[in-house]
Amino acid sequence: MGHRSLILAITLVPVALAASGPSAVAAETPPADAVRRGEYVFNAAGCLGCHTDEKGGGAPLAGGRGLATPFGTFHTPNITPDPTHGIGRWTEAQFVKAFREGEGPGGTHLFPAFPYASYTRMTDADLKDLRAYLMTRPASAQANRPHDLDPPFGWRFLLPVWKALYLDEGPLPDDPSKPAEWNRGRYLVEALGHCGECHTPRDWMGGMDQDRRFAGSSEGPEGDKIPNITPEPKAGIGGWSVGDIASFLEIGMTPDGDFVGSGMGEVIRNSTSKLTPEDRRAIAVYLKSVPAVK
């Protein structure tokens, strides 16, 4: 038994293998392999936690989780295939547009609490597979709850200003001077894993401070403090090896045997523990390469 599969065996949450049965609502039946790929994208992108009110016992993806931010509290929407309360009527093009441009059907500007500043980097293929998977999830008729935001942050009509300042639309082309593993790691960190949404500090308008990428933040989501994950030796995780980072992403253990909790426990449970060992390694390789920031 090699060491890779052993580490897999201690994964805290077993990977759900096959995607389960067809939904009551989805109009078309997507090909099974698109659904399977979509489930992987769904896990890597960590959609479940934000869109499920786990504490309140809500149905998966039916929304209603409150996200406390310095701008007020967001209540996540229902993203099950329900035609009235969920996104069952959204076309594929509308779905892709929400991620690429932060714009819902009918031109509604979406708040960047939905981390589309990162998801805009997703490929069309991944977005289509993701939608195929979502359409196989059980529908829930739970109605959406309005957000509870402080002015001026609650004003949707200001969002185009925000987008002009901070949204850099579209996928990043691979850097041919870098190995495939690094490019894959960058995609997992920057697009799917949206690690910077928590680990990069924000300015007063909620834009990510690109000069201090991954340098940690004193006011993360839910008021949490977020640590520095750049390779800076003292402030960051410069002392961690690629293997240390990879096993952290699998089971949540730091090199000194501590086990993380807070927001990161959920990221590991719902997302990084479900990736392949190769993908966790790619994330680690990429993180070791970002500029060190104190």
Partner 1 sequence: MASRKFLTITAASTLLACLACTAVAQDKESVMKMREQTMKTMGGAMQATGKFVKNEGGTVDDVKAAAARLTEAASKDIASLFPAGSTGGESRAKPEIWTSWDVFAKQWADLKPAAAKLTEAAASGDRQQIAAAMGGVGKACGTCHDQFRAPKQ
What residue ranges bind ligand HEC (CB under 6 A)? 45-47, 50-51, 67, 74, 76-77, 79, 87, 98, 104, 110-111, 113-115, 119, 130, 189, 193-195, 197-199, 220-221, 224, 226-227, 229, 237, 245, 248, 254, 257-264, 267, 272, 283, 287
Report if residue 48 touches partner 1, rule: CB under 8 A: no
179 to 125, 176, 219: CA distances (angstroms): 22, 7, 34
What single letter denotes the amino acid at residue 75?
Answer: H
Residue position matching structure tokens 């959609």: 47
Binding partner of residue 232 among partner 1, ligand HEC, none, CB under 5 to 8 Å per kind? none
Rounded Cα gap, residues 146 and 14, in angstroms: 35
CB of 129 to ligand HEC, least distance (A): 11
Q: What is the dihedral of CA 137, 139, 144, 147, to 10 degrees?
A: -10
Report if residue 7 touches partner 1, rule: CB under 8 A: yes
Find the part of the chain contacting partner 1 (CB under 8 A) among 34-42, 56-64, 203-211, 219-227.
219-227
Report if residue 258 touches partner 1, rule: CB under 8 A: yes
Report if residue 234 touches partner 1, rule: CB under 8 A: no
Q: What is the DSSP letter of 199?
A: H
Report if residue 256 touches partner 1, rule: CB under 8 A: yes
Report if residue 216 touches partner 1, rule: CB under 8 A: yes
Residues 6 or more apart from 63 whose CB is under 8 A from it?
A: 51, 52, 53, 75, 76, 77, 78, 79, 142, 144, 145
CA 5 to chain centroid, in Å, comes to: 26
Residue numbers at the binding site for partner 1 (CB under 8 A): 1, 3, 6-7, 9-12, 216, 218, 220, 224-227, 243, 247, 251-253, 255-266
